Structure 1
Amino acid sequence: MNRLPSWLRRHLAAVRAVAVLTVLLGLIYPLATTAIAQALFNGKANGSIVRAGGKDVGSAIIGQSFTDADGKAVKKYFQSRPSAAGYDPTSTGAGNLGPEDVVDVLPVPGAEGRQSLLTRVCARSKAVGELEGVSGARPYCTAGGVGAVLKVFPGRAVSVNQACPAAPFVTTYQGLKVECAKPGEDYAAGRTVPVPGGSGTPAVPADAVTASGSGLDPHISLAYAELQAPRVALERGLPLDRVKALIDESTTGRALGFMGEPAVNVLQLNLALDRS
């Protein structure tokens, strides 16, 4: 009997290996893992979907917004943590902006600007403060909700996040008159000086003004939930104590009993309010 050429035997062996691995890893293994997940962790395997009124309303592990068509907060609902991903599970991620990102790129005709991380925090703090009826002031922020940052040059200082004709948040710095920023002008050569101001401890919690690493965090801190409670109680005509009791019911403890802080699931809390 004639033996097959060695090169052909090697090719046939490769084809058999591909076929066997395809069946094992492409069919049997996925089916087995799916079956185990469905049998033991059905809810989690299917996305921890939450149903209300006979329809899917969200996921217990994915954050979502509670805003109207114009993007404004619906006042009768607790608001979620900001999301750099727009609460889109297919584009989860962070903004990747660090603490040194404090200078805005001001818009000019034909080109959009870019807010620094500091200005984003300041703008969110101002907006939350207005919504909740508290001070939105925080260190390194102007009253107008932008980063309080100067670029200092020999003989001049510029409030780089306040475009002209805005009045600078301070009039002088170390004897120099502070100017507003002219969009399109290059201030890179100046010394960057963030100005802390005297706002003290912010009334708006940190998680109300910063996005999570995933952009899909379904929880907020107890402090942020308690800040929102009076507004929600007023909008719904509920006793404040009743709203706070629902916050307690929607609060999860520390992971493994010692990691992190207690947190409030926003979707579950808002659904509990709708059932009240």
Structure 2
Amino acid sequence: MLSQLRAAATLLGILTILLGILYPAAMTAIAGAALPEQAGGSLVMRDGQPVGSSLIGQAFAEGRYLQGRPSAAGNGYDGASSSGTNLAPTSAKLADRLKTDGEAMKAATGASTLPADAITTSGSGLDPDVSPAFAELQVARIAAARGVEADAVRRAIAENTTGRTLAVLGEPRVNVLAVNLALDALAPAPAAPAAGTPTASAATPAN
């Protein structure tokens, strides 16, 4: 009995060291050497300071910025509370919100139809991208707010649009943070941004 316990404890100790310490440390070191940007969180820098991640969305409520899809993470784009709404497709609350938000979006943009991501939330609530169609809906507003030509805004969007992965997986997508940094470079915002983000704004809570 004692010999069996000793063997089990020895095996546990060896596996703990190998799989709990050495293996994770080795993978971390390899990832840091081979893919330093991704291993560091895919941070986006401006003037030597991190302003966000290309993988995590953040709130942009001001008219001069490209805005992401609605977020149900906390009070909106809360990285500490990543989540969707968990409302079922048959939920009356969800239907009412989609109808209200859809009517408001159509009134603001003049569009007769809307891309799904214009009014629906993502599963994580931290989606960093929007569809090209949703980005196009915002071109006129951004151009007017910044006093630039609409084509200049479209170029910033096109330059930060990624196609389907391997040409077949997923859908084309526009990175919101990258576009907004490009817009600030094109026509700087009149107000100084809050530290750590290109804009100081809070997302409207989405349910």
- 1:171-200 CA distance string (max 9 Å, x none): xxxxxxxxxxxxxxxxxxxxxxxxxxxxxx
Match of 1:244 in 2: 154
What is the aligned partner in structure 2 of residue 134 from structure 1? 110
In structure 2, the gaps of 5 or more residues are: 187-207
- 1:1-35 CA-to-partner distances (Å, cap 9, x unmatched) read xxxxxx22222222211211121111110111101
Give the Cα separation in 2 of the matches to 1:55 and 1:124.
35
Partner in structure 1 of residue 85 of structure 2 = 95
Residue-by-residue CA offset, 1:65-89 (whole Å, 9 max, x unaligned): 11xxxxxx21110110111213233
**Residue in 2 aligned with 1:166?**
none
What's 1:219 paired with? Answer: 129
- AA aligned to 1:83 is S
1:59 paired residue among 27, 43, 53: 53
1:207 alignment counterpart:
117
Question: TM-score with structure 2 length normalisation?
Answer: 0.82
Gap runs ≥5 in structure 1: 1-6, 67-72, 103-115, 136-200
Name the SS of the counterpart of 1:51 in structure 2: strand
- Cα RMSD between the aligned structures? 1.6
CA distance in 2, matches of 1:33, 1:260: 28
Match of 1:83 among 71, 77, 87: 71
CA distance in 1, matches of 2:84, 2:109: 29
Equivalent-residue separation in structure 1 for 2:173 and 2:35 (angstroms): 23
Q: How many residues align?
A: 184
**Greater share of residues in strand:** 1
Q: Is the 8 A contact 2:109 2:137 kept in 1?
A: no
Give the aligned partner of residue 74 of structure 1: 62
More relative contact order, 1 or 2 (CA 8 Å, 6+ apart): 2
For normalisation by structure 1, the TM-score amounts to 0.63
Whole-Å separation in 2 of the counterparts to 1:101 and 1:33: 44
Report which of the two has the higher share of helix: 2
Q: Percent identity?
A: 48
Q: 1:33-78: CA deviations, max 9, x gaps?
A: 1011111111111111111122111110111111xxxxxx211101
Aligned equivalents of 2:104 and 2:65: distance in 1?
Answer: 16
Give 1:121 deviation, angstroms: 1.0
Structure 1: which 4+ aligned runs deviate by more than 4 Å?
A: none
